[in-house]
A and B are shown apart, each in its own frame.
Chain A
């Protein structure tokens, strides 16, 4: 749903760099260079970033659009 706190394979904490990664990639930087400068050396941690899909953002958008009145 949201970006995982830790890498599935090695257990290293990765989530604290997610916002910076997303910002820099959206500004046009190559994910490879961003991951290098963030210090992710192992490919298990790197794939966590490049393959992440954040469904939570869509869920929040859905909530905003379709739940105008509080249900209770």
Chain B
């Protein structure tokens, strides 16, 4: 595998020397399996904005959060087995904004973490979320969790395409902002490796069984 081009949000790899199904597995895993962080639960304390709770919550859920893969577990796979989550699988944020006498726009930079020692944050502060007319107010509590794209597209880590150009196969990977593209590919490779090992172990077990007589 060779790097053909790389910048801060995308990477192009030459995968001609890789078995084709393996390159495709990488592509699919990047879309479906690489864990990322997004808002999963929202507690609406007050919302007098022109937007309904559902629309506002959906907009917020689509914001990619810079993902801390080393210190967090995917919510469903966490050892705490709690619906509320523990400090290893949930990060709490607060979004509070109020327009006094002038209309304001609420941005993603107004999302404040509850604990200030966390790396997790919206990947960009300039995302407009909702506009507030004078005397309107929103107060929300956000629960950010680690999830996978197969459950909801908000967790899709990025775009991955496999294509042929000048008789060599290229894997183009673009990050949505959760993780650097290099980390996405490495994470995907790790997941593919464990999957293949699982299949290998399963086959071994199957073949070691006593052959059953046909009934």
A2 touches B131 (CB 8 A): yes
Residues of A within 8 A of B136 (CB): 63
Interface membership of chain A positions 46-67, coded 1 if the CB is closer than 8 angstroms to chain B and 0 otherwise: 0000000000110110011001
A3 touches B128 (CB 8 A): yes
Distance from B25 Cβ to chain A, minimum over Cβ atoms (Å): 21
**Counting CB contacts under 8 A, is B183 at the interface?**
no
Interface membership of chain B positions 96-123, coded 1 if the CB is closer than 8 angstroms to chain A and 0 otherwise: 0000000100001000000000000001
Q: Which of B111-147 contact A (CB under 8 A)?
A: 123-136
A11 touches B176 (CB 8 A): yes
Interface size of A by CB at 8 A reads 23
**Counting CB contacts under 8 A, is A6 at the interface?**
yes
Distance from B180 Cβ to chain A, minimum over Cβ atoms (Å): 15
**Counting CB contacts under 8 A, is A28 at the interface?**
no
Residues of B within 8 A of A2 (CB): 51, 59, 128-131
**Counting CB contacts under 8 A, is A27 at the interface?**
no
**Counting CB contacts under 8 A, is B156 at the interface?**
yes
**Counting CB contacts under 8 A, is A5 at the interface?**
yes
When the two chains form the complex, which single residue of B127, B130, B156 contacts A16, counting CB atoms closer than 8 Å? Answer: B127
Interface size of B by CB at 8 A reads 29
* Cβ-closest chain B residue relative to A67: B133
A16 touches B159 (CB 8 A): no
B127 touches A5 (CB 8 A): yes
B127 touches A15 (CB 8 A): yes
Interface of B is mostly: loop
When the two chains form the complex, which single residue of B55, B64, B125, B133 contacts A64, counting CB atoms closer than 8 Å? Answer: B133
Given contact pairs A5-B59, A5-B62, A18-B128, A10 touches B103 in the complex (Cβ within 8 A): no
B133 touches A60 (CB 8 A): yes
**Counting CB contacts under 8 A, is B179 at the interface?**
no
* Cβ-closest chain B residue relative to A59: B50
**Counting CB contacts under 8 A, is B63 at the interface?**
yes
* Cβ-closest chain A residue relative to B122: A16
Within the assembled complex, what's the spacing in Å between the Cα atoms of A5 and B192? 31
A11 touches B156 (CB 8 A): yes
B159 touches A56 (CB 8 A): no
With most chain A CB atoms within 10 A of its CB, the pick from B62, B156, B177 is B62
**9 A-B pairs in the complex with CB atoms less than 8 angstroms apart:** A5-B62, A12-B159, A15-B126, A16-B126, A18-B128, A60-B133, A63-B103, A63-B134, A63-B136
Chain A residues near B (Cβ < 8 Å): 1-3, 5-6, 10-13, 15-20, 56-57, 59-60, 63-64, 67, 70
